[in-house]
Structures are given as C-alpha cells and as structure tokens.
C-alpha cells in the first residue's frame, strides 16, 4: 500500500497545467485564477493626498498660537493651487496636497474663524500625507499569475483602472457515480435503495473550488453502461472523478472499465482511513480519479487528495493549503495500521490552543460527521493516541477552497 504523503504528491502531479485562457470582466472574476502576472500601470496613489480632514501647511510655518490665512478649500477630486507660504489650505481626506505644503493637521487640532486657522497642537512635519506611489509604484507587480481572485484582488485591479482580467479557462470536471442501489434525489425509493448523495456532493465540492462540474452522470453496475458514461466524460472534461465500485467486490467494475478504454492504472490502495481504495488512471491523456463509494471516504479523499490536483490544473500558485496543529480532546484511544483522518470540530481554548473534539461516530458512511465537522485531524498509523496528544489538523475551509 502507498503511504498518504506519496499518494497525495503523485496525485497532485497527475494532470497538465492549464492551457486555455480567456478574458473576463471584474464582475465575473471572483474565484477565477489569474493567467498572467499583472503590473501597476501607474503609481498608487497617483499623487500626494491627505489622509485626514484638516489643513495643509508648511511645517515651517507653524508657531504656537499663530493664525494662518486659509488660502483655498480643496475638496477630494479638485485641483489645488500651490500653497502660498505662510498660509493654509483647507482640505479633506483624499484631497490633493497643494505644491509647497508638506504636512496635514487634523481639524480636531485647529480652530477656524474669519478666514484664519489657528493650530493648537504642534504637528510632526510630513504627518497625514499619503505619498504618491506609497501603496504600489508604477511597474511593480500588482498580482502574480496563479492568484485566485477574491474581493481584495478585484479591488486592486479596479484601482488600476482595469475592468477585464486574463484568467485560466474554468477546469471542467466530469463526475460519475456508480451502483445499482442508488436512486436520484426527488425520485421514489424502495426499502433496499438509497439516495445518491455522492453525485450532488461532488458537484458541490467541485463548484466550491471554482471548477465546473460539467457533467454528473450515473452508471449502473454494468460494463456497457460504465463504458458509455466514461466515454462521454472523457470527451468533454479535463478530469474525471468516479466514485464507488473501486474496491474488491464482485460488482466493482470501474477499474476494468478504465482498462478497457486503454487506461493505465497509476495508483491503487493508499494507507489511509477513510479512503483506502483510491485509484488514479490516465485515460486518453486525462486523469481519472476513482474515489471510494462511502460518502465520508469520498469527501475526505476529495479534500485531501483531489483538491491539490485540481488546484494545480487550475493554474493556482498555492496547491497545498496550510496544515495546522491541535490537541485531541477525547475520552477514547485511537490506533490503526492506516493513517486515520478523523472528523473534528476545532475550538481555541482561553490560552489560544486549538482543541480538536472528535465526532463520536467515525464510520465511513456517517454523513452527519461531515455536516458537523470543521476539519480533519490526522492520526499517524501504528501510534496510540488519546486525550491531550498533539496532531496535525486539516481545516476544511482551506482544504476545500
Ligand atoms: N472485503 C473488503 N470490503 C471492503 C473493503 C476491503 O478492503 N475489502 N474496503 C472497504 C472500504 S475501506 C471502502 S471505502 C469501501 C469502498 O468501496 P467502493 O469504492 O467499491 O464503493 P461501493 O462498494 O460502490 O460503495 C461503498 C458504500 O458507499 C455507498 N455509496 C456508493 N456510492 C454512493 C453514492 N453515490 N451516494 C451514496 N452512497 C453511495 C454504497 O451504497 C456502499 O454502502 O469498500 C469497503 N469494503
Ligand atoms: O477507506 Mo474506507 O474509505 O475506510 O471507508
């Protein structure tokens, strides 16, 4: 069996970098991956301006109790005449600093009457002036290629006057569920049947990563049906994710179906729990990841093993999110010959230590553990662990993003 870290690394390298680019407007850019490094087109801010509502002066003109004539009022967006030495300019947050002025005094430290202003507190020369280019200089890197565009990046682009941005084409994912026991939600269900939760779950997981669940198909446990579905997905998607039918049962037909399509199996069985029966195949130049059918296994394996591959294929700079640490809080002891990823809630105690509380039922079919969990705690194989032990923590907020 492969160890977890090796399998994760191999899987993350199993697909090509993105090759298709497109241009989208800022309104469509959220969650997209920047395809080119962009540079500032001009200094930001473009000119010295005031950080406060107040008065611009030459620091040298200040003397305690001395009144300065208010030469002009400059609002944000106005042009400003050069400052007459010995006078003051009334201005506001964002107003241009007149040539000749070097310091802004907050209005709370001033009294204005009869066209004159008196400053009550000695100013520090240069205070409250936002300098041209202090945020970003013309030509400096604004955003690196591979950045996921969030609200801050949208603001940075807009501040440079950009209304369109080059991004990688959305990664198209084909999802295939298998199993004769499954019924689509919304349909009537016989006692021996269960609803297909993995299909909608995987589509949601894919969408949550900014990729496109292009097709969500279901195949019966039947070689022909599987073959047909796999062909459709391979023809129209960058990656195929199948779920179920990948273990050792008599109806576990996914592996043979992939082999029949010329697929080369690259990986099979990982020393992790949940998620042992995991396979990777290259079929017609495309990666096909076969996830275990148990819903918790599919979810955890997607988070830990599939998302790095998708991030790399999306062209993202950050492929592996941070791994944190926490302290187990449990009244049981745990030990397994596979690395175990248990569902936990994370809470900081008053001293700031992350406490990881385990869900009481850790079975691979227990969906309620997923709706409850914040993340996965990693319990190393062949190690007895219990309350108070320090372990690695995979926060699903980051690992599913
Ligand atoms: N003799 C052995 N049996 C099993 C082994 C083993 O090593 N030897 N491994 C177990 C482990 S671990 C897992 S995980 C499962 C994985 O099996 P498969 O990937 O082949 O998945 P299935 O057998 O098709 O299904 C497993 C389970 O999940 C339910 N399921 C499947 N698809 C869906 C879906 N779309 N929505 C909701 N639920 C789904 C299915 O009904 C089964 O209950 O194998 C163990 N067995
Ligand atoms: O590995 Mo299975 O994924 O334990 O449930």
CATH number assigned to the domain comprising residue 389: 2.40.340.10
Ligand 1 centroid – CA 293 distance (Å): 4
Please check whether residues 190 and 293 belong to one and the same domain: yes
Please check whether residues 176 and 306 belong to one and the same domain: yes
Domain-terminating residue out of 263, 281, 314: 314
pLDDT at 269 over 80: yes
Q: Which ligand is nearest to the CA of 279?
A: 1
DSSP string of 76-127?
A: TT---PPPPTTEEEEE-TTPBPPTT--EEEEGGGEEEETTEEEE-SPPPTTT
Please check whether residues 204 and 236 belong to one and the same domain: yes
Q: Supply the ipTM of this predicted assembly.
A: 0.95
Could you identify the atom of ligand 2 that is nearest to the CA of residue 272? 1
Please check whether residues 183 and 78 belong to one and the same domain: no
CATH number assigned to the domain comprising residue 149: 3.90.105.10
Q: Whose CA is nearest to atom 12 of ligand 1?
A: 276
Q: Which ligand is nearest to the CA of 290?
A: 1
Domain-terminating residue out of 253, 281, 314: 314
Q: Identify whether 319 is part of a domain.
A: no
Ligand 1 centroid – CA 241 distance (Å): 15
State the Cα–Cα distance between residues 252 and 219, nearest whole angstrom: 12
Preceding peptide of 155 cis, ω within 30° = no
Q: Which two tokens stand for residue 352?
A: 């700031």
Please check whether residues 339 and 355 belong to one and the same domain: yes
Please check whether residues 149 and 99 belong to one and the same domain: no
Q: Identify whether 178 is part of a domain.
A: yes
Ligand 1 centroid – CA 48 distance (Å): 65
User: Does the predicted model carry a pTM greater than 0.95?
Assistant: no
Ligand 2 centroid – CA 269 distance (Å): 10
Please check whether residues 233 and 163 belong to one and the same domain: no
Q: Identify whether 162 is part of a domain.
A: yes
Q: Into how many domains does the chain fold?
A: 4
Please check whether residues 68 and 95 belong to one and the same domain: yes
Q: Identify whether 72 is part of a domain.
A: yes
State the Cα–Cα distance between residues 368 and 200, nearest whole angstrom: 16
> Which pLDDT tens digit goes with each residue over 6-46?
999 999 999 999 999 999 999 999 999 999 999 999 999 99
Please check whether residues 163 and 25 belong to one and the same domain: yes
Q: Identify whether 10 is part of a domain.
A: yes
50 lines ligand 1 (CB under 6 A): no
Q: Which long-range contacts (CB under 8 A, 24 or more apart) does 319-325 make?
A: 319/12, 320/12, 321/394, 321/395, 321/398, 321/399, 321/401, 322/395, 322/398, 323/378, 323/392, 323/393, 323/394, 324/354, 324/392, 324/393, 324/394, 324/395, 325/354, 325/390, 325/391, 325/392, 325/393
Ligand 1 centroid – CA 301 distance (Å): 13
Please check whether residues 10 and 105 belong to one and the same domain: no
- Phi, psi angles (nearest 5°) of residue 303: -60, -45
Ligand 2: which residues within 6 Å by Cβ?
273-276, 292, 294, 297, 364
State the Cα–Cα distance between residues 189 and 185, nearest whole angstrom: 9
Q: Would you place residue 264 in the very low, low, confident or very high pLDDT band (cuts 50, 70, 90)?
A: confident
> What range defines the domain where residue 150 resides?
21-42+139-168
State the Cα–Cα distance between residues 191 and 193, nearest whole angstrom: 5
Q: Which ligand is nearest to the CA of 246?
A: 1
> Which pLDDT tens digit goes with each residue over 73-108?
999 999 999 999 999 999 999 999 999 999 999 999
Q: Which ligand is nearest to the CA of 301?
A: 2
Could you identify the atom of ligand 2 that is nearest to the CA of residue 292? 3
Domain-terminating residue out of 100, 130, 160: 130
Which residues partner with 326 through β-bridges? 391
192 lines ligand 1 (CB under 6 A): no
């Amino acid at each position: 069996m492969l160890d977890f870290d090796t399998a994760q690394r191999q899987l993350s390298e199993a697909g090509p970098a993105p090759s298709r680019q497109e241009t989208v407007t800022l309104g469509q850019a959220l969650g997209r991956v920047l395809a080119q490094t962009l540079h500032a087109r001009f200094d930001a801010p473009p000119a010295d301006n005031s950080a406060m509502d107040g008065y611009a002066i030459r620091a040298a003109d200040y003397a305690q109790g001395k009144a300065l004539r208010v030469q002009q009022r400059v609002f944000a967006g106005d042009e400003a005449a050069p400052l007459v030495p010995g006078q003051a300019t009334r201005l506001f947050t964002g107003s241009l600093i007149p040539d000749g002025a070097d310091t802004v005094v907050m209005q709370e430290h001033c009294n204005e009457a009869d066209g004159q202003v008196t400053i009550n507190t000695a100013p520090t020369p240069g205070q409250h002036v936002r300098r041209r280019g202090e945020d970003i200089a013309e030509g400096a890197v604004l955003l690196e290629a591979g950045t996921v565009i969030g609200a801050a990046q949208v603001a940075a682009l807009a501040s440079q006057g950009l209304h369109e941005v080059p991004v990688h084409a959305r990664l198209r994912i084909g999802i295939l569920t298998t199993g004769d026991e499954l019924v689509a939600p919304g349909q009537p269900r016989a006692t021996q049947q269960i609803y297909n939760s993995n299909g909608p779950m995987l589509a949601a997981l894919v969408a949550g990563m900014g990729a496109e669940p292009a097709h969500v198909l279901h195949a019966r446990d039947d070689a022909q049906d599987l073959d047909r579905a796999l062909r459709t997905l391979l023809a129209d998607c960058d990656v195929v994710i199948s779920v179920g039918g990948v273990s050792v049962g008599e109806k576990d037909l996914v592996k043979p179906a992939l082999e029949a399509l010329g697929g080369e199996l690259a990986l099979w069985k990982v020393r992790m729990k949940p998620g042992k029966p995991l396979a990777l195949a290259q079929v017609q130049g495309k990666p096909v990841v076969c996830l275990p059918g148990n819903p918790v296994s599919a979810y955890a394996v997607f988070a830990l093993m599939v998302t790095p591959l998708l991030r790399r294929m999306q062209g993202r700079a950050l492929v592996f999110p941070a791994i944190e640490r926490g302290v187990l809080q449990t009244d049981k002891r745990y030990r397994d010959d596979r690395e175990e990823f248990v569902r936990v809630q994370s809470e900081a105690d008053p001293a700031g230590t992350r406490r990881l509380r385990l869900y009481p039922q850790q079975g691979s079919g227990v969906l309620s553990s997923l709706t409850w969990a914040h993340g996965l705690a990693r319990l190393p194989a062949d190690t007895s662990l219990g309350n108070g032990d320090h372990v690695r923590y995979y926060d699903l907020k980051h690992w599913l993003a």
